[in-house]
Amino acid sequence: MRITFCCTDTKPEPWLQGLQAALPQADVSLWHSGDAPADYAVVWAPPQTLFDQQPQLKAAFNIGAGVDALLALQVPPQTKLVRLDDAGMSVQMAEYVCHALIRHTREFDAYEADTRAGNWSFRKPLARADFPVGILGLGVLGARVAQAVAQFEFPVLGWSRSPKHIAGVQCFSGAQELDRFLAGTRVLVNLLPLTPETENILNRHTLSQLHSGAYLINVARGRHLVEEDLLALLETGQMAGAMLDVFRTEPLPADHPFWTHPRITVTPHTSARTLRSESIAQIVGKIHALERGEPVAGVVDLVRGY
Ligand code: NDP
Ligand code: OXD
């Protein structure tokens, strides 16, 4: 079996060694244009040439959960696209979102400013009931985040394409229920995939439907957010602040207003990192299953776009 590795922005050697160790019978190598045909590819934002030259690939394993970059390419019809299915990401995402939420609702930034200035002063505790948390996307990551937030006894709402039942979460689904979901939300967490239906979904119209003084946590994709709409709503006070992990252009350009905005916290697309050993174990397990003719989780539905 041949496995080709083609991941931009990733140091290849540890992946090649890890895949080779887990699949000793296979020939695992870094992709080069003109290579012999492979059975499987492990990819992140590969060039179109990979698929043009390897139309026989049985599957391409994306080493991330989001497949928007892959779906911009022409993938051969018989090649399954398989995304990472958690592989250690959901717990990281739950940590990030709970951190952002609690930092905001417990006013830890203000406490830090006070104590750095030598002030021992208290703020009136805010009521959790006044901070209903709405999660856009109740998939692998969104469902885990919803459960983690519910543990802290915040009211939790969630929105997905298909109806869901998650204990402790008021679930909404479909375009027709989006407005009711937004109207019940003060802290909005975005965990949707980027598709033609969800691009620009965080805009003046949707953000204006949240409770006044809302807070945004965007951990999905930069192209979900209309950046100038967020800036305008921070000016009016409709939005109290935001913690943003993903951006239209990454790295965030040096002159971007988000860097210095007093009510925006920026992190460098790090909310849920791809963990190499967990990812290799998952990919190798799926290769074995596919070789046995069994179905695997995380196969991308090309029509839905995720
Ligand atoms: P999933 O595919 O498991 O979940 C996607 C969720 O979004 C599902 O609940 C789905 O609904 C819902 N959804 C999709 N389209 C619509 C729509 N049009 N209307 C309503 N709901 C919709 O993805 P993951 O949870 O694994 O990942 C989510 C995203 O997080 C990734 O696509 C990626 O962009 C981002 N991500 C960011 C990372 C970071 O470090 N910042 C790391 C990892 C992922 P349904 O359940 O009905 O299908
Ligand atoms: C992912 C990501 O999609 O890292 O996994 O953003």
Q: What are the structural domains of the chain?
A: 2-87+274-291 (3.40.50.720), 89-266 (3.40.50.720)
Q: Which of 252, 212, 254 is nearest to 234 (CA)?
A: 212
224 lines ligand 1 (CB under 6 A): no
How far is 171 from 163, CA to CA, in rounded Å? 7
Question: Tokens 């018989």 appear where?
Answer: 78
How far is 224 from 6, CA to CA, in rounded Å? 27
CB of 99 closer than 8 Å to CB of 219: no
Q: What is the predicted pLDDT for the residue at 287?
A: 98
Q: What is the predicted pLDDT for the residue at 11?
A: 96
Atom in ligand 1 nearest the alpha carbon of residue 138: 9
Active site residue 186: no
Residue 296 neighbours by CB under 8 Å, 6+ apart: 82, 286, 289, 290
Q: What is the predicted pLDDT for the residue at 273?
A: 98
**pLDDT by residue for the chain (306 residues), tens digit each?**
999 999 998 999 999 999 999 999 999 999 999 999 999 999 999 999 999 999 999 999 999 999 999 999 999 999 999 999 999 999 999 999 999 999 999 999 999 999 999 999 999 999 999 999 999 999 999 999 999 999 999 999 999 999 999 999 999 999 999 999 999 999 999 999 999 999 999 999 999 999 999 999 999 999 999 999 999 999 999 999 999 999 999 999 999 999 999 999 999 999 999 999 999 999 999 999 999 999 999 999 999 999
Q: What is the predicted pLDDT for the residue at 279?
A: 98
Active site residue 223: no
Question: 89-105 and 108-116 are packed helices; what angle lies between their axes, rounded to 10 degrees?
Answer: 60
Q: Which of 145, 21, 86, 11 is nearest to 278 (CA)?
A: 86
The amino acid at 99:
H
- Residue 160 β-bridge partners: 173
CB of 61 closer than 8 Å to CB of 42: yes
Three-state secondary structure call for residue 21: helix
Atom in ligand 2 nearest the alpha carbon of residue 272: 4
Residue 131 neighbours by CB under 8 Å, 6+ apart: 101, 105, 154, 155, 186, 187, 215
Q: What is the predicted pLDDT for the residue at 293?
A: 98
Task: Report the 10 Å Cβ neighbour count for 276.
Answer: 18
CA dihedral angle for residue 259, residue 130, residue 164, residue 102, rounded to 10 degrees: 40
Peptide bond into 251 cis (omega under 30): yes
Q: What is the predicted pLDDT for the residue at 63?
A: 98
Atom in ligand 2 nearest the alpha carbon of residue 64: 5
64 lines ligand 2 (CB under 6 A): yes
The amino acid at 289:
A
Q: What is the predicted pLDDT for the residue at 152?
A: 98
Ligand nearest to the CA of 9: 2
Q: What is the predicted pLDDT for the residue at 131?
A: 98
